[in-house]
Amino acid sequence: MSGIDPAKQPAEPPDALPPRSESQFLAEQAQLAREAIARTWSEVKNDVSRLADPRKLTRKHPWSALGMAAAAGFAAAWLSVPTKEDQAIRRLARIERAMNPRPDHSIFRGLGSEALKILRPAIISALTAGLTSMTSDSKCQDESPADDTPASDPGDAS
């Protein structure tokens, strides 16, 4: 018998995993990557907090710590306190807003304004016609002769 004896064949390695689909493999790899990132992030935070511990630095280098604190204070003041120019610009902007208020853009005000624009010719025409008729009526009354004589009765035969 030539060939390999099946009894002497090595069995599958004990670490061998059952066959997986590609999506299962990718999901496992993603989970392993998340865990590795979380582990690395926690190690970095611990290292930074240990190295940047202000109490430890102050005990070891008090004058350097004092200088850094003073520089940080000046930087914070420089960033947070506006300059005279910034203050003047803000003041001018407030004055300009007070002199030129923003128009009110409410929907009802806009609709009312547009309706008035549309109806304006009709309103002006109606007012003009009314004034003209009033004027013409008053002219007709002024031109009619005043008859002071009493009207005679048609049945009167005098």
**Where along the chain do its domains lie?**
108-140
Contact 65, 58 (CB under 8 A): yes
Residue 1 confidence (pLDDT): 46
Residue 121 phi, psi dihedral angles, 5° rounding: -60, -40
What integer is the mean pLDDT of 117-128? 90
Full-model pTM: 0.30
103 versus 71: the higher-pLDDT residue is: 71
150 versus 45: the higher-pLDDT residue is: 45
82 versus 33: the higher-pLDDT residue is: 33
- Angle subtended at Cα 44 by Cα 40 and Cα 48, rounded to the nearest 5 degrees: 175
pLDDT at 145 over 90: no
Contact 62, 54 (CB under 8 A): no
45 versus 19: the higher-pLDDT residue is: 45
Q: What is the spatial distance between Cα 70 and Cα 77, in angstroms, rounded to a whole number?
A: 11
Alpha-carbon dihedral 69, 82, 85, 98, rounded to 10 degrees: 180
pLDDT at 90 over 90: yes
Region for residue 21 given its phi and psi (left: phi exceeds 0; alpha: psi -120 to 50; beta: otherwise): beta
Q: What is the spatial distance between Cα 146 and Cα 41, in angstroms, rounded to a whole number?
A: 111
